Structure 1
């Protein structure tokens, strides 16, 4: 089984992050392949409207 865990909280040690890590650990302990993503670790920008490109 594959599991993807996405943490979208800006606080890497707060309740949401801890819950996400526990879910990932539990899934891993039960044989799942787990990918954990912390969105605030990535440098990305939102999409830009076509009007800005003109």
Structure 2
């Protein structure tokens, strides 16, 4: 079973905390927000994250 944590509207610090608890899969439905978080995660060397697009893709 796969549990995808919905990370939309949450800052990268919340994602880091969830990763510390063992979460690896995160979902976004806004491309702009996804790319921002991907870049932030890369700068923090968080290579274990698996990103997922969820729901309808939205833009601002």
Q: TM-score range by the shorter chain?
A: 0.3 to 0.5
The structure with the largest strand share of the pair is 2
The structure with the largest helix share of the pair is 1
- TM-score w.r.t. the length of structure 2 is 0.34
Work out which of the two has the higher radius of gyration on C-alpha atoms and give 1 or 2. 1
